[in-house]
Amino acid sequence: MMNGNVIVLGSINADTSYRMTALPNPGETVIASSASASPGGKGANQAIAAVAAGAVTRMIGMVGDDSEAAAQLAALALRGVDIDSVAMRRGVATGRAVVFVDDSGENSIVVLSGANDLLDGDVAATGLASITTGDVLVLQNEVPADANRAAARLARSLGATVIWNAAPAPTVAADLVHDIDLLVVNEHELKQISGILGIEATVEGPGSSALGDLLAECARALDADAICTLGSDGAVFFADGLSGSVPAPKVRAVDTTAAGDTVVGYLAAHAGLPMEERLRLAAAAGALAVTVVGASSSIPRLGDVRPVPVARTERTPV
């Protein structure tokens, strides 16, 4: 069961990935074993994931007038993303990212925002002109916070659901987006947001009950449901006054790039499902993504995703 269309407001990057035995330490030079190029940016990845999950998806973003722009837009269109609401700014570069991946699948990423940093409320409003009740707007933090806040307010006023993936982690109160229905974070991002909100973090480790309590407090402060992803440990959630957790399938990770974006895209595409079922599907898709090398190229299609069967998920009032 899915809601209406998915609209992703976010970044579009040209990704170059380098594979190596171990990530370099400061001052260290390492030799890469391979390199590859692909469309990227959290926004573009999440749009591709929403399409892979079965949703009609439109991208709102900004590219430059360089050679990379056409390549990234063509790649998005090839994956089924509607790019009619992507604007072009002359005299600037399309966003770029360099991704380093080690043999355990962990990564380090350097991003040059380029045109993404020029996305504003006017571009957002134009792209959201046709959004309506039942649609889902997805936001992240690789475009200016002002654009995110303007888009969230407009989408909510027109009856759409708003998902905010607060990544990269916000650092100041001005980065927060309040007109949201669902917050999606990892543990680091959750602690950053709790600090901004003045909520004391007492988390002792992944999956701890303290983590669920902290998530619930942040969710209440933002008047939204919330999910905290925990990688191979699955995720915890707070929805409708109840906290719970779901597992992730056990897999051998080769590249964690875009796994979180896969989760967000699946959550958006299946916003009509109950939270537990929706999150188990998204967690399974994210786990499958880490078994494939690459960013957007690792995002699995719905027919290949098998959620972990769970007879009972603990849900407790918080």
Question: Is 1 inside a domain boundary?
Answer: no
Q: Is residue 225 part of a domain?
A: yes
Residue 46 near residue 148 (C-beta atoms within 8 A) = no
Q: How many other C-beta atoms can be found within 10 angstroms of the C-beta atom of residue 292?
A: 16
Asked if pLDDT for residue 135 goes beyond 60, the answer is yes
Confidence of residue 204 (pLDDT cuts 50, 70, 90): low
Q: Which residues span the domain enclosing 239?
A: 6-23+34-317
Does residue 236 sit within a domain?
yes
Q: Would you place residue 297 in the very low, low, confident or very high pLDDT band (cuts 50, 70, 90)?
A: confident
The answer to whether residue 179 is catalytic is no
Residue 283 lies in a domain: yes
* pLDDT confidence band for 203 (50 / 70 / 90): low
Out of 65-74, 105-114, 198-207, 217-226, pick the least confident: 198-207
Percent of the chain with pLDDT over 70: 93
Look at the chain and report how many structural domains it folds into.
1
Here the tokens at position 158 are 């027109």
- What pLDDT, on the 0 to 100 scale, is given for residue 294? 75
In a domain, 28, yes or no: no
Q: What is the dihedral of CA 42, 44, 46, 51, to 10 degrees?
A: -170
Domain assignment present for 250: yes
Residue 316 has a CB neighbour count (10 Å cut-off) of: 11
Q: What is the CATH number of the domain that holds 206?
A: 3.40.1190.20
Mean pLDDT of the chain: 91
pLDDT the model gives residue 200: 81
Q: 15, 135, 179, 261: which is the annotated catalytic residue?
A: 261
Is the pLDDT at 169 greater than 90? The verdict is: yes
Between CA 196 and CA 19 the distance in angstroms is 36
- Segment 133-153 shows an average pLDDT of 97
Whether pLDDT at 231 is above 70: yes
**How much is the pLDDT for 37?**
82
The answer to whether residue 158 is domain-embedded is yes
Q: What is the pTM of this model?
A: 0.91
In a domain, 239, yes or no: yes
State both tokens at 23: 């990530």
Rounded average pLDDT over 236-249: 92
